[in-house]
A = this chain, B = another copy of it.
Amino acid sequence: MKRHPDNPLITPDILAPSAPGLKVLGAFNAGVTVYNNQIILLLRVAERCIEKPEFVSVPIYSFANDKSEFKIINFRKNDPDVFLKDTRGVVYKGIDYLSTLSTIRIARSNDGINFIVDNKPFIFPEVPEEKYGCEDARVQKFSNEFFITYSAVSQDGWATSLATTRDFKSLNRKGMIFYPLDKDVCLFPEKINGRYYALHRPHNEGFGKPSVWISSSDNLLDWGGHKCLIRPRENKWESQKIGAGGPPIKTDKGWLVIYHGKGDNSVYHLFTLLLDKSDPTKILSRADVPFFSPEKSYETNGFFPNVVFSNGHIEQPNGEIFIYYGACDETTNLLITTVDELLADVMK
């Protein structure tokens, strides 16, 4: 298992802002697939407004007549109706505005290392339930169609929506598939016993902590059969919450899952989990310790320090697995390993 020496592969400074007046803060947490012999990243791009001394500026989408329009609103800092909440937002006359907005952009590469990133978002708020942004895409191909799950953020919190594409040009929204609060949704690559399966992370709480759940569906739109699959354990790596990564990998031994834990001091780690091939609600093995933690300076220092987060990977023809991961909610990076190495990790 090794980090690519060119890490970080994508940094926010190489991205053009999507509109005048914006700056890019992060290009991270990519969904990954292959299309036309290229590796495609569906990058989460976080942007905020360029600061002006007398104003607080927020990027927003407004909705009218079923259309959305992007604009920047400038609030005078000395306006008595303006209330600065924290670095994340502003309240103006009782209405919340966010200072940062994420959309999903496509990056393309022939070698999986050098990427060209689109200047404009591919998935951005076009419907009210995405008003505050689109985040953390995961992608799974079924026949010739790519199914993309992503966090839809709005005044109601974060939910997960589904959209499809055949060409990474046009997008077909299929609507919300997991109501809020729910994120970290990955689809299994094939039907199992006639049903589609997904891992997801409702923000369940009470006597437990946010956990990884499994659900199933006949049509990828209506979901049921909900079951809590794994809960955070009492250890320093997953003491706060856990959530699934990219689509489970089919192996001889079972479904190999990569998931993240948020542990002590809000440090993120990556773990392996193995599920039964014919019944993915059954756990075969779960690694005791993470296989990957923040160590390099680009993982420990940045916008949100000590985060390594993966929501996409690719099996290469030579048996390698390219795990793309976001570091510090800022950059996109590559970890190279193999199925065998991950299986050894989960079964040791």
Contact = CB atoms under 8 A, between A and B. Distances in A.
Interface in A43-73: none
Given A221-B224, A224-B177, A155 B203 contact: no
A21 interface: no
Contacts of A228: 129, 156
A205 B157 contact: yes
Interface residues of A, number: 43
A225 B215 contact: no
Contact of A132 (B129, B156, B207): B207
Contacts of A175: 224-226
Q: What 9 A-B pairs are tightest by C-beta distance, nearest first?
A: A157-B206, A222-B224, A222-B222, A180-B204, A179-B226, A155-B207, A96-B207, A221-B224, A176-B226
B203 A181 contact: yes
Contacts of A177: 224, 226
A17 B328 CA distance: 55
Given A207-B132, A226-B159, A234 B94 contact: yes
Contact of A227 (B176, B208, B234): B176
Chain B CB within 10 Å, residue with most, of A203, A215, A222: A222
Interface in A179-234: 179-182, 200, 202-208, 211, 213, 215-218, 221-228, 231, 234
A61 to B, nearest CB: 14
Contacts of A231: 155-156
B224 A158 contact: no
A206 B158 contact: yes
Contacts of A153: 206
Contacts of A207: 96, 132, 154-157
28 contacts: A94-B234, A129-B227, A132-B207, A154-B206, A155-B207, A155-B208, A156-B206, A156-B211, A157-B204, A157-B208, A158-B206, A159-B204, A175-B224, A175-B225, A175-B226, A176-B224, A176-B225, A176-B226, A179-B182, A179-B213, A179-B215, A180-B205, A180-B206, A181-B204, A181-B205, A216-B222, A221-B225, A223-B223
Given A157-B205, A159-B204, A222-B222, 15 more contacts: A129-B228, A156-B206, A156-B208, A156-B211, A156-B231, A175-B224, A177-B226, A179-B200, A179-B202, A180-B202, A180-B205, A180-B206, A218-B222, A221-B225, A222-B223
Contacts of A182: 179
Chain B CB within 10 Å, residue with most, of A203, A213, A216, A231: A203
A180 B206 CA distance: 10
Contacts of A156: 204, 206-208, 211, 228, 231
Contacts of A213: 179
Contacts of A202: 179-181
Contacts of A208: 155-157
Contacts of A181: 181, 202-206
Contacts of A129: 227-228
A178 B222 CA distance: 11
Given A176-B227, A227-B176, A228-B156, A217 B222 contact: yes
Contacts of A215: 179
